Amino acid sequence: MSTLQETTDEVLRLAATHFRVPKEQLAPDDDFFKKLGINSLQALDLLTRLEQHFHIELPDYELAGVSNFRALAERIQSRL
């Protein structure tokens, strides 16, 4: 099973690739809405990609109040 650090790195890599942002510009505590410049529909798109990548279901209500990559990775980690 992946560690939280590994999951966080995967989330950062996936977000960087999909939203075409250099990975080195993203940090675990960044607000992904601001850093990626995404709206709610794009956040759902990211959620779908994360579910596919990690082979999990992540109900969107679990993302309420989650805005940084580390917290997002923690939610994913709890489903692995």
Residues that bind another protein in the complex, under the rule CB under 8 A: 33, 39-41, 43-45, 47-49, 51-52, 57, 59-61, 63-64, 67
Nearer to another protein, 2 or 42 (CB): 42
Question: Closest separation between CB of residue 46 and another protein, Å?
Answer: 11
Give the nearest distance from C-beta 38 to another protein in angstroms. Answer: 8
Beta bridge partners of 68: 31
Provide the CA 2 distance to its chain's centre, in angstroms. Answer: 15
**How far apart are alpha carbons 1 and 62 in whole angstroms?**
21
3-state secondary structure at position 16 = helix
